[in-house]
Amino acid sequence: MDLLTGLCAPHNAHDLIFDESGMIKKYVNILVNGRHIQSLSGIKTELADGDEVAIFPPVAGG
């Protein structure tokens, strides 16, 4: 099971992270060891023991 699916399942959060085609929504930023996954292998980025993953949902306010 991949990380995002595993994290989303118990919280019914799949639709918050993924669009209808199964891709990560444009406004959700995911970093692995401080690098955006778009500069790595995108959703196919493989993780190793000790990697740090940060998921930033959109934030709005004034």
Q: What is the DSSP letter of 53?
A: E
Residue 30 CB partners (closer than 8 Å, separation 6+): 4, 24, 36, 37, 53, 54, 55, 56
Whole-prediction pTM: 0.78
**pLDDT reading at 44 higher than 70:** yes
| CATH code linked to domain 3-56 | 3.10.20.30
Instruction: Give residue-wise pLDDT tens across range 13-32.
Output: 888 888 999 888 888 999 99
Domain coordinates in residue numbering, the chain: 3-56
Quick check: helix, strand or coil at residue 9? Answer: helix
